[in-house]
Structure 1
Amino acid sequence: MSSEERRSWIYVVVAVGVAAVYFVTVLPKVPGADVARIAYVRPMLIAIGAGIGLGIVAGIAAAIASPKEAGRADERDRQIHRLGEYVGFYVMSIAAIVPLALAMAEAAHFWIANALYLAFVLAALASSITKIVLYRRGL
């Protein structure tokens, strides 16, 4: 497994894990509550920071575990990275329509922020999963 593929696996695990913890923490408060009073900002900021931090730390740990492969990328790695990023961009572009529509409908900030966070998570997952599939099935 190349270091780039390993990094994609790390991002999938981190994105799913951090988002799951965030949504399990915040969404149970929704039924029967006024969403304007739900404290979601701090948990969301912690989730975003944890996602970034865990991704960096796990990437460094993976590079330390296999130092010969760290930072080595060939043309195939660059093409896979580019295609994965394109897919992530398109997913984000489409998913961003939901928070935009919520803002236009003057929905509560809670729903707009959570829809936007979910769009970012889906884009990261789509990008990383695309890269993994391309590595596994070939480019």
Structure 2
Amino acid sequence: MVFEERNVWAGLIVSVLVIPAYIVIVLQQAASTPVTEIDWLPPMLWTIGVGIVATIVVSVVWGIVAGARDPDGVGRSDIRDRDISRMGGRVEQAFLVIAGLAVIALCAIGADLFWIANTMFAGFAVSAVIGSVARVVAYRRGLV
């Protein structure tokens, strides 16, 4: 597995763990508090921060293990990696645009900040997961 693919997997694994954690925290608050009064900002910021740090840690540890097994190929990238990264970025961008349009619509109707922020957060989360899945599929099946 090449350097870029390991990083994609690290991000995907962490995303699949931290995003549901945020959802659970918010739903626990929603059980006893009206949605518009939920204190969503600290859990959201912690989720983003933990996700970034955990992805870096997983990538570094995985890289060290891979480097011990194959010291020559640990950091190699080629044109295929660049093409897969670009394709994944396009997929991610499409979902971010959809989320951005949804946020604009929510702003237009005067929705509560909870809905606006969580719609954007969901857009980021979905784009990260779908973009990573697209990259993994491209690594496994190739670009068509």
> TM-score, normalized by length of structure 1?
0.92
Aligned to 1:9: 9
CA distance in 2, matches of 1:61, 1:70: 12
Q: Which amino acid aligns with 1:114?
A: N
Kindly provide the CA deviation profile for residues 75-100 of structure 1, in whole angstroms up to 9, marking residues without a partner as x: 11111111111111111111222222
Q: How many residues align?
A: 139
The reply to whether residue 135 of structure 1 matches residue 139 of structure 2 is yes
Q: Deviations over 1:49-94 (max 9, x none)?
A: 0111111111111111112333210111111111111111111111
Identical aligned pairs, as a percentage? 38
1:14-25 → structure 2 map (5 Å cutoff): 14-25=14-25
Distance of 2:113 and 2:30 partners within structure 1: 13
Checking the alignment, whether the CA contact within 8 Å between 2:5 and 2:139 is kept in structure 1 is: yes
User: Partner of 1:34 in structure 2?
Assistant: 34
Bigger mean CA offset, 30-39 vs 53-62: 30-39
> What is the rounded CA distance, in whole Å, between the counterparts of 1:31 and 1:23 in structure 2?
12
> What is the identity, as a one-letter code, of the residue corresponding to 1:127?
G
Instruction: Measure how far apart 1:28 and its partner are.
Output: 3.3
TM-score w.r.t. the length of structure 2 is: 0.89
* 1:3/1:71 contact within 8 Å kept: yes
Given that residues 95 and 127 in structure 2 are in contact (C-alpha distance below 8 angstroms), is that contact kept between their aligned partners in structure 1?
yes
- Unmatched 5+ stretches in structure 2: none
**Matching of residue 101 in structure 1 with residue 105 in structure 2:** yes
CA RMSD of aligned residues (A): 1.4
| Partners of 2:130 and 2:99 in 1: CA distance | 11
CA distance in 2 between partners of 1:12 and 1:73 (Å): 19
Q: What's the offset of the Cα at 1:102?
A: 1.1
Task: List runs of 5+ in structure 1 lacking aligned partners.
Answer: none
The Cα of 1:125 is off from its aligned counterpart by 0.9
Q: Kindly state the Cα deviation for residue 31 of structure 1 after the two structures are TM-superposed.
A: 5.0
Checking the alignment, whether the CA contact within 8 Å between 1:35 and 1:108 is kept in structure 2 is: no
